A = this chain, B = another copy of it.
Amino acid sequence: MIGIAPLRVFVHVASCGNIRDAATRLHRTPSAISMTLKQFETDLGAPLFESDRKNRLTKLGEEVFETARDVLREHDQALERIEAVAAGRHGRLRLASVPSVAAELLPHLLADFLDTRPGLTVELIDTDSGGVQSLVADGTVELGIAAPPKDASDLHFTTLFQDPFRLVCRSDHPLAERRTPLHWSDLAGMRIIGNDAAEAIDAAACRALIAGSALKARSVISLLALVRAGAGVTLLPRLATVSLAADLTALPMADPLAVRKVGVILRDGRSPSPVCKAVLARLEQATANVLSKGQDVS
């Protein structure tokens, strides 16, 4: 059966008008070109050129030339795209992230990443840790950035960095002037505004504090608005507090347990696409210098 190679040879000879130049362009000897061409004509059962000097096509040659040129163009394009996909230079990545990372870390990283890869499409969904986990689990997104999943499902978690919690209060709050890390006892008697991230802190004293809190909110925007309005104080990961307005203050906590682990979540047993791999590498590189790291598998 006729393959791509004879078509390519024929098209080159036809457009060069002679075998010698076509041979040069294809990095072959004229004899190789001659033989391939002859074989092609034999396969077709009819001559493609009018004379031995390959400078005039037969009617058949003209028709085959049109078709062959199109085939080659499409073939080469498609193959280039396949290679680009495989090399991670082309493709689509859907990723989900918790809002803090989506807002503080990813914008710059992704912009940077896409600048050097014109064929890439990235779709970013931001939702809470639970949402990220289920989006990865059901295959809606390939890559998730969130806290480690609690239940050992078919998800694979790798820690990117650990993010220490900070107490967020109004800048006119009595604690705001403290220059030393806070202890849980410092928070006694205050109204703590609960949130999902803080509830995951693995310190008994902290859990007790939050358990007693009457107020809870979900988004960072709401939490900060409540704090600003004097409704209480709250605990947020450092990353969520980096762009804090002047009327609010974020204070470090002394307890080393007051951290949230942030990492990437992949579906177990699925090897990541090249684009995904590239983003992972970029993420690891970007977070290499951020606090303590580690590796967990669940």
Provide the residues of chain B in CB contact with A273, threshold 8 Å.
58-60, 63
Provide the residues of chain B in CB contact with A68, threshold 8 Å.
78, 82
Provide the residues of chain B in CB contact with A269, threshold 8 Å.
50
Which A residues from 1 to 60 make CB contacts under 8 A with B? 1-5, 44-47, 50, 58-60
Provide the residues of chain B in CB contact with A87, threshold 8 Å.
45
Does residue A104 face the partner (Cβ distance < 8 Å to B)?
no
Across the interface, do A64 and B86 meet the contact criterion of CB distance under 8 Å? yes
Provide the residues of chain B in CB contact with A50, threshold 8 Å.
269-271
Across the interface, do A63 and B78 meet the contact criterion of CB distance under 8 Å? no
Report how far A270 CA is from B48 CA in the complex, Å. Answer: 11
When all copies of this chain in the complex are counted, the total is: 2
Which A residues from 60 to 86 make CB contacts under 8 A with B? 60, 63-64, 67-68, 70-71, 74-75, 78-79, 81-83, 85-86
Across the interface, do A79 and B71 meet the contact criterion of CB distance under 8 Å? yes
Across the interface, do A46 and B3 meet the contact criterion of CB distance under 8 Å? no
Provide the residues of chain B in CB contact with A83, threshold 8 Å.
2, 44
Contact of A60 among B44, B60, B86 (CB under 8 A): B86
Report how far A50 CA is from B78 CA in the complex, Å. Answer: 23
Taking CB as reference atom, which chain B residue is nearest A76? B1
With A59-B273, A274-B60, A276-B59 given, is the CB distance from A44 to B82 under 8 Å? yes
Across the interface, do A67 and B59 meet the contact criterion of CB distance under 8 Å? no
Across the interface, do A78 and B86 meet the contact criterion of CB distance under 8 Å? no
Taking CB as reference atom, which chain B residue is nearest A85? B63
Contact of A78 among B5, B70, B91 (CB under 8 A): B70
Does residue A272 face the partner (Cβ distance < 8 Å to B)?
yes
Provide the residues of chain B in CB contact with A46, threshold 8 Å.
86, 271, 274
**Interfacial residues, chain A to chain B (CB-CB below 8 A):** 1-5, 44-47, 50, 58-60, 63-64, 67-68, 70-71, 74-75, 78-79, 81-83, 85-87, 91, 142, 269-274, 276
**What are 9 A-to-B residue pairs whose CB atoms are below 8 Å?**
A2-B79, A2-B82, A4-B4, A4-B75, A46-B86, A59-B272, A60-B273, A63-B91, A70-B78
